[in-house]
Structure 1
Amino acid sequence: MEYDVVQGDIATQPADALANAAGTSLRMGSGVAGALRRGAGEEITEEATRKGPVDLGAVAVTDAYGLDAEYVIHAAAMPHYGDGQATAESIRDATRNALECADDLGCRSLVIPALGCGVAGFDLADGAEIIDEEIRNYDPDALEDVRFIAYSDEEYDAVRAATGKAEQSELKEGSKADR
């Protein structure tokens, strides 16, 4: 399975499935959910809300509507009650369940954001390490391409550093220069 860290707006990414950084209520507010809602239209909000609430770490699937994907997998890494904070366990479970769900749907490509690391307040570097570990340890059936997406320059640099992808890029660039 190919795996890379990319930068951009998740709502513009072509893939079989896009993962949404969701809360357990599956209400689509700001951040990743807001970007997906703006790209897909209000139908995605209506469908997601009907499928919620879900347990912490669980996923629900909706159509992708106006997005360049077939599915949106809503991965509930944060609760929508109490303090709303994500945990290492909720991020790990949501990531694993999103990967398994995409595989079960027969998806060949999945774009996944830093689940639980935005409004849910989990440290980005720590969350990226957890997500990276789950992706690297996942043994796919159908999945061939997983892209860990970051929006801003700062988030992209932090995710690349936490996943070791920055060092890999530097090694590749260095080996080209050595030729």
Structure 2
Amino acid sequence: MEFDVVQGNIATQSADALVNAAGTSLEMGSGVAGALRRAAGDEINEEATETGPVDLGEVAVTDAYELDAEYVIHAAAMPHYGDGQATAESVRDATRNSLEKADELGCRSIVVPALGCGVAGFDLREGAAIIGEEIEDYEPETIEEVRFIAYSDEEYDAVRSATGKPEPSEQTADTEADR
């Protein structure tokens, strides 16, 4: 399975599944959820809230609507907004359950954000390390590509550092040196 760290807006990514950094209510407010809702249309929020709530660390699936994906996997790494913060366990569970659900759905590609590390208050570097470990340790059935997406320069640098992923130019240099 190919695993890369990329920078950009998750709502503009093309993949079989995009993972939403959700709270347990699955209501799509701000951050990653807001970006996905704005790009997909209000129907995604309606379907997500009708599907929820889910337990902390669990996932639910909706259609992707106007996004360039088949599915959105809503990963509840944080309690309902205002009801507490994400934990190492909830970040780990939400990541693992997202990967398992993508496999169950037959997805070949998936884009994962820094679950629990935005408004949920979990430390970005620690969260990125946990997410990276879960991705590296996961043995996929159908998933061929996982992109861990970071929005800002600061987030990208932190995620790349925490997961041990080199800059793209370093990846190219390493690949050429290995030939």
Q: TM-score, normalised by structure 2?
A: 0.94
- Cα offset for 1:84? 2.3
- Cα offset for 1:173? 3.2
Pair 1:15-2:15 in alignment: yes
Change (3 A) 1:171 1:45: closer
Tell me the equivalent position of 2:98. Answer: 98
Tell me the equivalent position of 2:46. Answer: 46
Decide whether the 8 Å contact of 1:161 with 1:167 is kept in 2: no
Q: 2:166 aligns to what SS in structure 1?
A: helix
Q: Distance in 2 between matches of 1:169 and 1:137?
A: 25
Tell me the equivalent position of 1:114. Answer: 114
Which residue identity does 1:44 align to in structure 2? I
Decide whether the 8 Å contact of 2:26 with 2:53 is kept in 1: yes
Tell me the equivalent position of 2:29. Answer: 29
Task: Name segments (4+ residues, structure 1) moved above 4 Å.
Answer: 174-177
- Cα offset for 1:151? 0.3
Q: 1:161 aligns to what SS in structure 2?
A: helix
Decide whether the 8 Å contact of 2:23 with 2:81 is kept in 1: no
Q: 1:166 aligns to what SS in structure 2?
A: coil
Change (3 A) 1:26 1:167: same
State the number of aligned residues: 178
Q: Distance in 2 between matches of 1:175 and 1:14?
A: 25
- Cα offset for 1:166? 2.7
Q: TM-score, normalised by structure 1?
A: 0.94
Q: Percent identity?
A: 79
Q: Distance in 2 between matches of 1:170 and 1:64?
A: 34
Q: Distance in 1 between matches of 2:38 and 2:101?
A: 24
- Cα offset for 1:118? 0.2
Listed one character per residue, the Cα deviations across residues 101-120 of structure 1 (whole Å, up to 9, x for unaligned) are: 00000000000000000000
- Cα offset for 1:79? 0.3
Tell me the equivalent position of 2:159. Answer: 159
- The CA RMSD over aligned residues, in Å, is 1.8
Unmatched 5+ residue regions in structure 2? none
Tell me the equivalent position of 2:140. Answer: 140
Change (3 A) 1:127 1:141: same
Listed one character per residue, the Cα deviations across residues 64-122 of structure 1 (whole Å, up to 9, x for unaligned) are: 00000000000000001664200000000000000000000000000000000000000
**Further displaced range: 49-58 or 159-168:** 159-168
Q: Distance in 1 between matches of 2:80 and 2:175?
A: 47
